[in-house]
Amino acid sequence: MHTIARELNQVLEHTVIADLLSDLGKRMYFPKGIVSQEAEASLKAKKLKATVGMATKQNIPMYLPSIFEDISSAAPSDVFPYASTAGDQELRKLWLEEMAVKNPDLRGKTTSLPVVTSGLTHGIFLAGDLFLDEGDTILVPDLFWGNYTLIFEERSKAKLVTFPFYNQDKSGLDLHALEQAIANAPGSKVSLIVNFPNNPSGYSPTVQEAQQIVAILKRAADGGKRLAVITDDAYFGLFYEEGTCTQSLFAMLADAHEHILAIKVDGATKEDFVWGFRIGFITFGAKGVTSEQYEALVKKTMGAVRSSISNASKPAQSLILKGMKSSTYHQEKQQAFDLLQSRYVLVKDILKRHADDDNLVPLPFNSGYFMAFTCKGSAEELRLYLLDRYEVGAIAIKDDYLRIAFSSVDNDRMEELFDIIYQAAGELWN
């Protein structure tokens, strides 16, 4: 049991609550991770805040006009009824069509129809419900979103086993570590979750690395492993460098092998700049699976949805659907992408000017919302110093890395942000 959970249980000792808590209730806790650090930054980071995984412009959340303009004029039938358990049928079909546009390798392949979830978190939660038993192992690179721990270890009672994300010289992914982790996984059933663009590092595989990952998984399947591969595509589409793989691994894995089940968890959250809508999707793909068999799996997924949230938000689905059908939808998304890419390019230029500073060494990044530093000293010490001394918010990861959400910092404040971060590190560690 996690230390924080034990501490909370001690507070509740000798009460009726302690007598009545379920085993899961006893294991639950609120982690001192990104969300709690973000809450602290909201109170103290008066100058600059590069914490939350959201894109903002002049401190206002970015949005697509084609979605926003419909909020006040939506018809009652698009807002007030229950949504169906699997989600709006038209939205599910349109999302699948868009998925094939964004992932050309999917064209001509048969997958399930996406099921609507309450955000990506719920989609990952459903994958755990459906494919992990107590004591099962799930493999994850050692740079991962902290909520995986709550979802898989505390809820599913599975065991997270990590392997190095980067190779030794930090030039790319440690593919050998991935292959070894799969080979060493107990039994024939292997679960793996990958997240590209990665949170917290902001790295996505190159085209060659993506092909090598698929080859590794196929070799494992040939050797008798049965693999459930979850692709957490939360930041999908935000790829800024040539040579980066711009498709989800799901597209390459959906019919890669009879022993590989690809599970795509994605959503409008980041792709359509609607963080508060809490609309995600879960889609399945495997070689040799028939439409009837996909429908059976979808119905199982619907059961998991029904027994957890009943259904996702009807008005949010309606607004996303209207936005996606707008003639300006793709143009608006391109404009938002261009702004985020300009921030990425600016950050890269700023980091070049600090290349000789060994207090903070940037990890490779090429996509998404974030970049991260390896810190000479304690990342948590630096985070708190930035908050208290400079009123600047950032996120400490495992006390080794400082994560910067450049997505939420305007271009005209970016240099100021990084100058303060480097100055603070120097004051602590020089």
Q: What is the pLDDT averaged over residues 191-215?
A: 98
Q: What is the pLDDT averaged over residues 298-304?
A: 93
* CA atoms within 13 Å, Cβ hemisphere of 372: 24
Torsion of CA 135, 141, 145, 150, to 10 degrees: 10
Mean pLDDT of the chain: 93
Residue 32 has pLDDT above 80, yes or no: no
Confidence of residue 39 (pLDDT cuts 50, 70, 90): confident
Q: What is the pLDDT averaged over residues 263-290?
A: 95
Note the pLDDT tens digit of each residue in 69-99: 767 677 888 888 889 999 999 999 999 999 9
Confidence of residue 237 (pLDDT cuts 50, 70, 90): very high
Name every residue whose Cβ is closer than 8 Å to that of residue 108 and which is 6 or more positions away in sequence: none
Determine the pLDDT at residue 272.
95
Determine the pLDDT at residue 349.
97
Q: What is the pLDDT averaged over residues 350-373?
A: 97
Determine the pLDDT at residue 413.
96
Share of the chain above pLDDT 70, in %: 99
Please, what are the domains in the chain? Answer: 1-28 (no CATH), 31-54+331-429 (3.90.1150.10), 66-325 (3.40.640.10)
Residue 33 has pLDDT above 80, yes or no: no
For the four alpha carbons of 209, 212, 218 and 221, in that order, the dihedral sign comes to negative
What is the per-residue DSSP string for 197-227? S-TTT----BHHHHHHHHHHHHHHHHTT-EE
SS3 278: coil
Residue 37 has pLDDT above 90, yes or no: no
For the four alpha carbons of 64, 121, 203 and 286, in that order, the dihedral sign comes to negative
Note the pLDDT tens digit of each residue in 218-236: 999 999 999 999 999 999 9
Share of the chain above pLDDT 90, in %: 80
344 or 28: which carries more pLDDT confidence? 344
Work out the burial of residue 321: count CB atoms within 10 Å of its CB; fewer than 13 is exposed, 13-18 middle, 19 or more buried: buried
Neighbours of 299 (CB within 10 A): 12
Determine the pLDDT at residue 51.
87
CA 212, 217, 219 angle in degrees (round to 5)?
A: 95
Q: What is the pLDDT averaged over residues 103-117?
A: 96
Q: What is the pLDDT averaged over residues 312-319?
A: 95
Residue 43 has pLDDT above 90, yes or no: no
DSSP 368: S
Determine the pLDDT at residue 28.
80
Determine the pLDDT at residue 162.
98
- In angstroms, the CA 350 to CA 413 distance is 12
Determine the pLDDT at residue 70.
66
pTM over 0.95: no
